[in-house]
Chain A
């Protein structure tokens, strides 16, 4: 079990590499969401390696079997850990992807160290804490305190996954929750949540992110809804906003094959110079290998019902997407 040491702290990580290929080939670094741990990225380790990428996964401070500081964990500590891990990966383009809490850490990292990565994927992420998200976070913290980790698991599964997935997994759900409950310690989760108590919006710093950035937003994600993803699209200079059809907040768990396909295609586009960026808006395919479709320029992508844009905005979006009717 590889261990990264930072001061007194021990961070567990895994680095998977293709059997054939250079030691400094392109690498994806995947950052966990709040209650996640390395093993939940296993499908990505399997599929991205099969597509020729190295894959680095790790448990953040307070997660899985990395050290769990007893009283304080700051987000700056997590960024410092990520910086140490990335320094271990040697040459080769580095693509950083994080989901939700991990997306916040990835955004913070990209703001501070854009020069060390080739691309960023912000998945169900956010740079601000508007009242809905702040209050939902407070409810989650209270739930953790009053009902323990198992209550939090009970709440997160139906909040973040689709009916279809839940119906299919119903028999195995208790086992899934037990695994999360076993590996998560309540005090450590509380420390991770409380790292948001002094949260300042990152929006003013997003312009410091100088790498191609794909923002992934589940179509039905109500925890980190479209307005938060739109803020990333607008404020990070070189973005594409991609809607993942029929997806909720935790679609990395629900649709690993599809999401791994998105990640691999993003990295290949960046490395080959095919990356478009330009703050364009896309509807992702529902199946791996499918087409990315430009969001209809004359409709307001911020609405859940088809409302037309005013003309100048529509023209601007149409211009950004011009000529992009074929798969990327």
Chain B
């Protein structure tokens, strides 16, 4: 199941920090995301794209998870060598496009580019 099928999201930035918010569509989805999207599991996936640690805050009243990556945007968005300005506004798809499963155990996997390439 794709994260984006059970949650909406938005990316923001302040200085070197990237922040990613997810809001789950219902309580079951929220609980699944809490189990699947642990900072320990996310960090190696995120570090394929951005550097530094991943911190997580839970906001159960809003069924929301908040991910904060304090070193992800070194020098701020204007120092980025991505084409054009503000690539980080699309960074929420790094989470929305992950896959989570919950059949006795929890799994988290990115789309595999090599496998899926025609």
A and B associate in one complex: no
> Which B residues have a C-beta under 8 Å from some C-beta of A?
none
Write the residues of chain A forming the contact surface with B, with a CB cutoff of 8 angstroms: none
